[in-house]
Structure 1
């Protein structure tokens, strides 16, 4: 008898939860599949929206390439963009545990002969910058939000939440810097057992590299702003096709919150979660009820479409070819 793995049980639970959320949205009128047909009447808007979503993936790939450079991992930009497309495809299309980060990590391990640990940590760092981009764009949008929302809306609670997110981000960054400084100043790592030191060494080395390359980190933050911003612009364009959509500022802030909560691994890809949060924010800020979740669902479908090139990149990807390109570039840098 074949036993079901724990990961498979969790996946089934997540799929059931996603299905329950979608059914709840349909029953409450927040999600209306019938109104999606309006998209076919606005092909002139569909194309620029998809271009924006695809550019968000490419800019994120450029940000990851910068983080790899900061850790002295020399990999051609074309190779990194290929891996980014592949990772984005797996993250978007597959509901299981084989996520995009795992795919990127495996391919990075195959590409590099040294510096693998710091390169793998850069994938996690890239996720952190993606979150910083979301929070930063949310704060920028909130500046223009007061004039765009209904006077009776729950505006202040969202501004308060944004301030908390920004504060937590700043506190986390300050604590990280202080922690590294104290650990280096008092040689705390040297006092730990050898096994623990062995596991912590790559993290310490990577952090030191990042601190020394702080201008690159600033550029990564700008890239995060650009990647998040252009995706939100794509979402606003998608919303403009629907007659019941809220104004651009409300759609943008709702999109940021929807994307933030979609990252939480409650359901595969945040299905149902992003739609629910997006709809709730739109209802409260616009102070009216409409099938707002439909807009976010269309955005999700758009992300599926723009990740099709990632499928093509996966089918055409040659580990041998890209390893040779990486080795040749490394040799040129050393020459």
Structure 2
């Protein structure tokens, strides 16, 4: 709990600092109200990403032989978002979503956990793919090191998957060197992970589809940033600048030192935007990312509807987590 409070303090502190140093300008946010149609379209782009995320999770669950209908996946995904936004630190959205899926497949706990993990990883890979695609658009002084980071990330993801599947004997030998109780726990986890990876390895097109959906999600997010910048009447940044700054902001947003990267994503987006603007200005570019974040949070409001529909199941899941926490206390 203390870490959650600390993260919230860091996030709020970052936003206050950005306002103090004129990286966030509320007059720009007010400008966006003069173009409600554009803002609504940007919101629609962000809302569609939830539907895409539900499809991606369904594909990843199906690859592990844990069948789930698309409507169920969509409802569980919205409920997970609702918990992430409105009950941060109490019950993780992934835990609630997975718990609801577990009630459908009591014998698929490992598969459900792995599908959530791989869901996160394919999202990261999708962002890396976009980063690689826009590498040529980045100023030359940054191209080399950013290229090294992106290529290294993709290579580690691929070869980590290959190593875990193809060299199981080495990992098993290392685990067997552990003390008895630790060995049994690690062996069970390892076999669950490798079993899931083998299934994904044999269904590579499902992974390709999941990454492709992630890329599409981020394209919609980047387009929403571009639309919101236009609604704010910000003219100093080209569409290429929005793409590059947006990718930087989304990467920074994944840094887990504040809730959802609050303040971190805004700072990164604003700094990179200033480097890429056509002529040097004092435009508070971080305002664009902040508005995009606000609209993203609003999409979670739709989670109220499936939450009410599945209220009994959600309550059962949260009670189970409470029991686990009390048992470990």
Tell me the CA shift for residue 167 of structure 1.
Answer: 2.1
User: Contact 2:49–2:217 at 8 Å: present in 1 too?
Assistant: yes
TM-score by length of 1: 0.84
Task: Give the Cα separation in 1 of the matches to 2:59 and 2:312.
Answer: 21
Most deviating of 205-214 and 32-41: 32-41
1:34-53 map, 5 Å? 34-53=27-46
| Deviation by residue 1:132-176 (Cα, 9 ceiling, x = unmatched) | 111112222334x26xxxxxxx55315631441232221331133
Task: Give the Cα separation in 1 of the matches to 2:304 and 2:151.
Answer: 35
Residue 270 of structure 2 corresponds to residue 244 of structure 1: no
Residue of structure 2 equivalent to 1:92:
85
Tell me the CA shift for residue 76 of structure 1.
Answer: 0.9
User: Contact 1:108–1:120 at 8 Å: present in 2 too?
Assistant: no
Determine which of 194, 205, 222 is the counterpart of 1:204.
194
| Matched residue SS, 1:24 | helix
In structure 2, runs of 5+ residues without a counterpart are 178-182, 315-329
Tell me the CA shift for residue 307 of structure 1.
Answer: 1.9
| Matched residue SS, 2:231 | coil
| Matched residue SS, 2:103 | helix
User: Contact 1:139–1:162 at 8 Å: present in 2 too?
Assistant: yes
Residue 257 of structure 2 corresponds to residue 266 of structure 1: yes
Most deviating of 216-225 and 312-321: 312-321
Residue of structure 1 equivalent to 2:180:
none
Residue of structure 2 equivalent to 1:307:
300
Task: Give the Cα separation in 2 of the matches to 1:230 and 1:244.
Answer: 19
Give the direction of change, closer, same or farther, for the CA distance of 1:320–1:171 in structure 2 (3 Å limit). Answer: closer
| Deviation by residue 1:39-97 (Cα, 9 ceiling, x = unmatched) | 11111211211111011111111111100010000111110111111112222344325
| Matched residue SS, 2:248 | helix
TM-score by length of 2: 0.86
In structure 1, runs of 5+ residues without a counterpart are 1-6, 147-153, 322-335
Q: CA RMSD in A?
A: 2.3
User: Contact 2:172–2:187 at 8 Å: present in 1 too?
Assistant: no
Residue of structure 2 equivalent to 1:151:
none
Task: Give the Cα separation in 2 of the matches to 1:19 and 1:185.
Answer: 46
| Matched residue SS, 1:307 | helix
Residue of structure 2 equivalent to 1:224:
214
Task: Give the Cα separation in 2 of the matches to 1:259 and 1:88.
Answer: 17
Task: Give the Cα separation in 2 of the matches to 1:213 and 1:293.
Answer: 41
1:74-113 map, 5 Å? 74-113=67-106
Task: Give the Cα separation in 1 of the matches to 2:143 and 2:262.
Answer: 22
Most deviating of 243-252 and 74-83: 243-252
Task: Give the Cα separation in 2 of the matches to 1:17 and 1:190.
Answer: 38
Structure 1 moving runs of 4+ over 3 Å:
92-95, 184-195, 318-321
User: Contact 1:39–1:241 at 8 Å: present in 2 too?
Assistant: yes
Residue of structure 2 equivalent to 1:136:
129
Task: Give the Cα separation in 2 of the matches to 1:273 and 1:89.
Answer: 22
Q: Would you say how many aligned residue pairs link Structure 1 and Structure 2?
A: 306
Determine which of 155, 169, 173 is the counterpart of 1:170.
155
